[in-house]
Structure 1
Amino acid sequence: MLILDGGQGEGGGQIVRTALTLSCILGIPFRVRRIRAGREPSGLRPQHVAAIRAATDICGAHVEGAEVGSETLTFEPGGSVRAGTYDWEIGTAGAATLVLQTVLLPLALAKSESSVSVRGGTHVPHSPSAHYLRDVYVPLLLEMGADAALFIEAYGWMPEGGGQIDAQIAGSARLVGRDLRNRGELERVFGAAVASSLPSHIPQRMANRAINLIDSVESFDAPVDIRPLRTSGISAGAGIFLTAEYGNGRGGWGVLGHKGMPSEVVAGDAVTALLSFHDSGAAVDRHLADQLVIPLALAAGESAFTTPEITQHLRTNIETVQHFVDRAIRIDEARHLVSFA
């Protein structure tokens, strides 16, 4: 059994989720102590417990310590990952995206097709949005050989949640490496300005502002398609979610609105982040860099990617992966390059 320190590096919940994903795939049991020691409050939160429950369901694991607030978790897979139909509910506005991401790769590598629904927060702080998962992360998995499709069935914001993400996962994936050092030309910028249970002028103003800002940049010579969308939901909420697609790379940025924050400011913050990435010349954004470590570590052949910065989160995820996978993963600080030999 692997013994992991949940307080290493940035000390967040990603250590638990990464361990769950790799434990399911590789059949390696683990125990993690000092869970989220770097966060306040420490210990498991509802979305982490939901991710543990999901991982337990797909591989019949024996689990100890899977309660909110627990700082120690033992996870022992009971067998190979089982494809099937799954339905998980967090019960709060905890990130449904992080629960889905925990089991997405194991189910993609399972022997047959799976259908998954996760209910909770789809667009909440400190987590990838459902748009990001659908438009940034999954397309890279598709290019690596994993066949999955995501659908945003309902929007869930803070504090109540109530959103739903569905996924159809083909299974039988064979992952191949990717060379993402040079991103190529910008092909398009697309996204959505979304508001739930709020006036229709809010998403329209966000979309208009983002389009105008991007169109004012002379170096952008690519189609821009940002659409306003008004929906209903248990919680009122708003945000803008943008994706930049290059010939060999992509990045995504989301900004959530809040009371007193003008729609134009929400849009401006997202566009500023997009422009900063574009100017960096990197192939994948800093959040995608974290998320690609697991599939690239498991993929056949060599891989590499450039990212705007080598974050502590990225370092921690690489360290966690290397507990499970005997793979040389190197960081070139000067070039902001990560390579998988």
Structure 2
Amino acid sequence: MIIIDGSEGEGGGQILRNACALSLITGQPFRITNIRGKREKPGLMRQHLMAVTAACTIGNASCDGLELGSTAIEFRPGAIRGGDYRFAVGSAGSTGLVLQTVLMPLLAADAPSRLVLEGGTHNMAAPPFDFIERCFLPVLARMGATVGVRLVRHGFYPRGGGVVEVEIVPARLRAVACVDRGALVAVSATALFAGLPHGIAERELRAARPLLDWPEAAFGVRQLPEEQGPGNALMLEARFEHGAEIVTGFGKLGLSAESLAKTAAQRMAGYLRADAFAGPYLADQLLLPFALAGEGAFTTVKPSQHSLTAADIIARFTGRRTVFAYRAGGGVLVEVR
């Protein structure tokens, strides 16, 4: 039984999600205490509860302490089974974080799977659908995975109501090196909004333009059906020969359109100045598949506490080390050994 203190490292839900995925794949049970111990509201929230429930469902696992607000659970994995699954997170709980929990195990399942995920698709503190589709999954495809995703309906905080469909074909992941992102191919800045004044999106783009110095044609507004709102997100995308990065700013009460756009544009400008394949959020997500492939390497910007914590959890279940080596020209080379 692997014992985990959920308040260690970054102390959030990623520890729990990675532990569930690794437990199913390696067959090792675990107990975690102090779940999300460093968050303002510790314990299992709705999206974390659904992530563990989904892991139990696809992996015939049993779990003690699985209830809203719980700060400790004991998880015992069973056999992973492919099939058709529907998981409703409820409200705007992140569909992306539930997918993050079950994707790697289902790639190791005995048959293909089809998922329908209901909840939030564009949430703060979670990877939006576009990031998963255009930044993360292309790397998995290079590793030999076939994963198809479709956004049926957007879901913003706090209403949610989004729907995502996912098709997964089991595959053995192969090691790859993602060191060079290649030449810049295209850039875009899209202000999504639903059920809100059009002027909010225009103000976001107006504030982002001088900080990015992109062509005028790269900036655009996308209005979604009013019933999918209220919601707003500014999505900045840079596509390279060998990869992509998407930086997202999410609208919320009390945050001006100008402030949102400035923060997102500065983050994207910082990434463009760097010479790294993966941004900080993509780096977090690549650690698990790279470890399951047995080895691999990628470059990133300064590693986040999320990445360092994920590397520790991976080592406990697999014994594989993640080495973060700072490069002379800036950035970090991440190697899984």
TM-score w.r.t. structure 2 length?
0.91
The 2-side partners of 1:325 and 1:233 are apart by 45
Aligned residues: 333
Segment of structure 1 superposing worse, 6-15 or 105-114: 105-114
Which of 231, 242, 254 is equivalent to 1:237?
231
Tell me if structure 1 keeps the 8 A contact 2:12–2:36: yes
Query: Counterpart amino acid of 1:339?
Result: E
Matches within 5 A, 1:220-299: 224=218, 228-233=222-227, 235-259=229-253, 261-299=255-293
Shift of 1:108: 2.3
Structure 2: gaps (5+ residues): none
* Secondary structure at the counterpart of residue 83 of structure 1: coil
Tell me if structure 2 keeps the 8 A contact 1:136–1:243: no
State the Cα deviation string for residues 159-195 of structure 1 (Å, max 9, x = none): 22211221111x2212112212222211222463211
Which of 317, 323, 326 is equivalent to 1:330?
323
Query: Counterpart amino acid of 2:317?
Result: F
The 2-side partners of 1:216 and 1:204 are apart by 16
The 2-side partners of 1:41 and 1:268 are apart by 29
Check 1:144–1:226 CA distance in 2 against 1; reply closer, same or farther (3 A cut): farther
1:120 has 2:116 as partner: no
State the Cα deviation string for residues 108-132 of structure 1 (Å, max 9, x = none): 2323221111111211211111221
The 2-side partners of 1:9 and 1:229 are apart by 39
Shift of 1:226: 5.0
1:307 has 2:300 as partner: yes
Shift of 1:17: 0.2
Give the share of equivalent positions with the same residue, in percent: 36
Check 1:233–1:97 CA distance in 2 against 1; reply closer, same or farther (3 A cut): farther
Structure 1: gaps (5+ residues): 218-222
Segment of structure 1 superposing worse, 281-290 or 24-33: 24-33
Aligned to 2:131: 132
The 1-side partners of 2:202 and 2:118 are apart by 27
* Secondary structure at the counterpart of residue 310 of structure 1: coil
Aligned to 2:194: 196
Shift of 1:212: 6.8
* Secondary structure at the counterpart of residue 103 of structure 1: helix
The 1-side partners of 2:275 and 2:51 are apart by 34
Segment of structure 1 superposing worse, 321-330 or 260-269: 260-269
Query: Counterpart amino acid of 2:63?
Result: V
* Secondary structure at the counterpart of residue 86 of structure 1: strand
Query: Counterpart amino acid of 1:238?
Result: N
Matches within 5 A, 1:1-341: 1-79=1-79, 81-169=80-168, 171-190=169-188, 192-203=190-201, 206=204, 210=208, 214-216=212-214, 224=218, 228-233=222-227, 235-259=229-253, 261-300=255-294, 302-334=295-327, 335-341=331-337
* Secondary structure at the counterpart of residue 173 of structure 2: coil
The 2-side partners of 1:326 and 1:339 are apart by 14
State the Cα deviation string for residues 56-88 of structure 1 (Å, max 9, x = none): 110111111111111111111121x11111111
Check 1:7–1:260 CA distance in 2 against 1; reply closer, same or farther (3 A cut): closer
Two-structure CA RMSD over aligned residues (Å): 2.2
Check 1:105–1:87 CA distance in 2 against 1; reply closer, same or farther (3 A cut): same
TM-score w.r.t. structure 1 length?
0.90
State the Cα deviation string for residues 115-162 of structure 1 (Å, max 9, x = none): 111111211211111221122111211121111122222222222221
